Amino acid sequence: MTASGTVAVLGAGGTMGLPMARHLAKSGKAVRAWNRTGEKAEPIAEDGAEVLGTAAEAATGADTILTILSDADAVVSTMEGSDGALAGAGEGAIWLQMSTIGIEGIERCATLADEHGLVLVDAPVVGTKQPAEQGKLTVLASGPEDVRERCERIEKRRSRFCAHGRSRRRRVSHVTPRARSSRWRCARREGDERQLRQAASIKDRALKIDHSGHGPRRLRASWSASIIAS
């Protein structure tokens, strides 16, 4: 497929999708946008994006299809069906799957990509609304090496790339075999949850120590033994 520089953003009216699509449009990319609730994506028309009525229309003529949706079911349903993106996607298009959908979810996407001749890049983002609006999301990208340059052209003005978890100062780094990013993202999420549980435990200990009269030294020892301090 000849690269046209056109990006279809599916989920372009969401908390993450809207600012991501906006940055792409402002950087000069031709953006074809779709959102399940169409009016939520309308503001990015002011930035030069074309807002379409179906995912199939958005994917038509795009050499990259970017999905940023709530979960695996939403991603798969957006791609499938007569109005789904696969109905409009050209063979050889890059599918830049940026939703956090877990290992099983990305394997479902891999099956669809293989069946329809798309090149899947597993690229979940790390960040929230504010870094998305600032263009400072971290993207954990994994996929075939031969699409690295095409992905760099899309992402270099909008996010920082990592190679399945190793953060770099530069915005774009290597693309590695697919599904590694989702595995690393799941591991990171589990680690974050463990840290939150540990922090809650420390807070509980602090209250008990304060009430017992043992003071700051005992609290520092409790903190030093935690995974947060490691």
112 and 196 co-located in one domain: no
39 found inside a domain: yes
Would you say residue 137 lies in a domain? no
pLDDT in the model for residue 212 = 52
**Best CA proximity match to 58, nearest among 81, 84, 40, 80:** 84
CA pair distance 203, 76, nearest whole angstrom? 41
Average pLDDT over residues 153-160: 55
DSSP H helical ranges for 35-179 = 55-59, 72-79, 85-88, 102-116, 129-134, 148-155
| Claim to verify: residue 107 and residue 208 sit in the same structural domain | no
- Asked whether residue 150 is domain-assigned, the answer is no
CA–CA distance, 12 with 132 (Å, rounded to integer): 12
Query: Which whole number is the average pLDDT over 203-220?
Result: 51
Q: What is the pLDDT of residues 45-83, one digit of tens each?
A: 999 999 999 999 999 999 999 999 999 999 999 999 999
Q: What is the pTM of this model?
A: 0.72
Q: pLDDT tens digit string along 187-210? A: 555 555 555 555 555 555 545 544
Q: Is 217 exposed, middle or buried (0-12, 13-18, 19+ CB in 10 A)?
A: exposed
pLDDT for 182: 60
* 109 CA to centre of own chain: 14
The answer to whether 138 and 127 are in contact (CB under 8 A) is yes
Identify the domain boundary among 108, 127, 146: 127
52 Cβ contact list (under 8 Å, min separation 6): 32, 33, 34, 58
Residues 116 and 190 in one domain: no
Q: How many domains does the chain have?
A: 2
* CA separation for the pair 95, 68 (Å, rounded): 11
Q: Span 18-32, mean pLDDT?
A: 93
Same domain, 216 and 103: no
91 lies in the same domain as 198 = no
Is the domain of 117 the same as that of 11?
yes
**Domain end position, chosen among 127, 142, 164:** 127
- Same domain for 192 and 121: no
Domain range holding 105? 6-127
- Do 27 and 97 reside in the same domain of the chain? yes
